[in-house]
Amino acid sequence: MKYDTYLFDFDGTLVDSMPAFISVMLRILDENNIKYESDIIKIITPLGYAGTAKYFSEKLGLKVEADKALELMNKYAYDEYAYNIPAKNNVIETLKKLKEQGADLNILTASPHSVLDVCLKRLGIYDIFTNVWSCDDFKTTKANPEIYKMAAEKIGKPVCEVLFLDDNYNADKTAAAAGMKVCGVYDKSSEEYADEIKSVSDYYIKDFAELLDL
């Protein structure tokens, strides 16, 4: 096993939640007649709910107060995460094998604990992870290189010894800039950015089972 310490994204990496995430975020914009560019999901995915609410307000002109926008995001998303969103192909099996081999598994996601924890527990994998972190725990976003350094420090490993996995180009690029090894992950929602993701990543996988061969 080449790596023994992993830091996983959640949405689009471990679970097939991006359609739900996209639906929630665009619903808020559409309900308020806010116009947005075609790359909006690429931009907001690393920001977390709070960061996205701020982006909607400051950059797109959403007039809804940040607290209200966050409330709507959580309300719209909760049922999907609690009852419907599945793990991606071979994720659960691969995580269990890595754990059996002695790997230290951790999560760093833009999603809040209100949807993150309930989904992981329903899927039966919450206890596999040493740390389950939302960006909210660090008071910053995955667009900030410091968050990866802080996560590595909490894990107790040099940042260069942690393998970070994410389906989002901006997050992969920022983690690489922070000094982490990076494995890009295929997701249909970011398919058009696959070449960009590969350009900033040390590895790229289409199926989670491939992780066992790195």
The answer to whether 105 touches 83, Cβ cutoff 8 Å, is no
**Model confidence at 77: pLDDT above 90:** no
By three-state DSSP, how is residue 117 classified? helix
Residue 2: its pLDDT value, please?
A: 87
Q: Is 173 left (phi over 0), alpha (psi -120 to 50) or beta?
A: alpha
Question: Residue 11 carries which DSSP code?
Answer: B
Pull the structure tokens for residue 58.
Answer: 């400051």
Distance CA 90, CA 94 (A): 6
Distance CA 96, CA 179 (A): 27
Condensed to tens digits (0 to 9), the pLDDT of residues 15-74 reads 999 888 888 899 999 999 999 999 998 899 888 788 899 999 999 999 988 889 988 988
Residue 102: its pLDDT value, please?
A: 96
Distance CA 172, CA 183 (A): 8
Residue 65: its pLDDT value, please?
A: 86
Condensed to tens digits (0 to 9), the pLDDT of residues 138-197 reads 999 999 999 999 999 999 999 999 999 999 999 999 999 999 999 999 999 899 999 999
Residue 48: its pLDDT value, please?
A: 79
Residue 67: its pLDDT value, please?
A: 86
Higher-confidence residue of 28 and 1: namely 28
The answer to whether 170 touches 43, Cβ cutoff 8 Å, is yes
Number of helices followed by number of strands (H, E) in the chain? 9, 6
Report the predicted TM-score, pTM, of the whole model to 2 decimal places.
Answer: 0.85
Residue 82: its pLDDT value, please?
A: 95
Quickly state the pLDDT bin for 205 (edges 50, 70, 90): very high
Residue 207: its pLDDT value, please?
A: 96
Residue 122: its pLDDT value, please?
A: 97
CA dihedral (108, 166, 149, 213) positive or negative: positive
Residue 45: its pLDDT value, please?
A: 85
**Model confidence at 1: pLDDT above 90:** no
